[in-house]
Amino acid sequence: MTDLTREMVFMAAAMTVGNVEEMKEHLERARALGATPADMEEILTMVRGERLKVTLERDKEAESLLRAESLDLPVMTGGSSCGCGSGNC
């Protein structure tokens, strides 16, 4: 993998999770290695599409939960006040 490709992958990952500082860092490096505005636009288009798919899937899951008659959620125990089981709460 070339250094440019690596920086573009890191850029896409940072965009996916919304880490602005990492986006800036990897965008700067990618540009220094020869990334074009068209390269950056392609990454943005790919990431945006994937993020939208994930958002829509989560919306569907939320709608299902809101419409459910019962939420059979397991309750964790183990000494935590919140029920997470870590013992640190």
pLDDT digits (tens, 9 = 90+) for 43-58: 999 999 888 888 899 8
pLDDT at 19: 92
What are the residue ranges spanned by the domains of the chain? Answer: 3-67
DSSP state for residue 84 in the 8-state scheme? S
Among 39, 59, 40, CA closest to 51: 59
- 19-23, 37-41, 62-66: range with lowest mean pLDDT: 62-66
Residue 4 has pLDDT above 90, yes or no: yes
């993998």: which residue's tokens?
1
Q: Are 75 and 81 in contact (CB under 8 A)?
A: no
Helix and strand counts by DSSP (H, E) for the chain: 3, 0
pLDDT band at 65 (very low <50, low <70, confident <90, very high): confident
Residue 85 has pLDDT above 70, yes or no: no
Written in H, E and C, the secondary structure of 25-60 is: HHHHHHHHCCCCHHHHHHHHHHHHHHHHHHHHHHHH
Indicate the pTM of the whole model.
0.61
| Phi, psi (deg, nearest 5) at residue 13 | -65, -45
């029920």: which residue's tokens?
83
pLDDT band at 68 (very low <50, low <70, confident <90, very high): confident
